[in-house]
Amino acid sequence: MHEGHLDGHARLLRILAHPTRLRILRELTGGTRCVTNICDLLDMAQPNVSQHLATLKQAGLVACEKEGVLRCYSLSRPGLVAGLLELLDAEADAGRADRACLPTTK
């Protein structure tokens, strides 16, 4: 694999390595959401959510459309985001299954 690809992958993973950004991406898999909706769903302040959305937009993961005074976001790479979230969920499930198989100590 070309070094430039590895650098790009590393940048993308750094951007994804934040719980709030992962939560935003998960919410957007359900369709377009306006900033106010995302704030309500995540129970977070608008400036904080907007900052994370700007980072995701700069990375090319989300797109923004203006609807009057509202800014609404959607996934610009839905296949990539869905695949990454599925991989993370599968890993979490495997980790839980592995821990369930461990013997308990007394």
pLDDT digits over 74-86, tens only?
Answer: 999 999 999 999 9
Order the strands of the 33-34 sheet from edge to edge: 33-34, 70-75, 62-67
Length in residues, the chain: 106
8, 26 contact by CB (below 8 A): no
12, 59 contact by CB (below 8 A): yes
> How would you label 45-61 residue by residue, b for 16+ Cβ within 10 Å and e otherwise?
eeeebbebbebbeebeb
pLDDT tens sequence across 18-47: 999 999 999 999 999 999 999 999 999 999
Domain 3-101, what fold? Arc Repressor Mutant, subunit A (1.10.10)
Q: pLDDT at position 97, please? A: 64
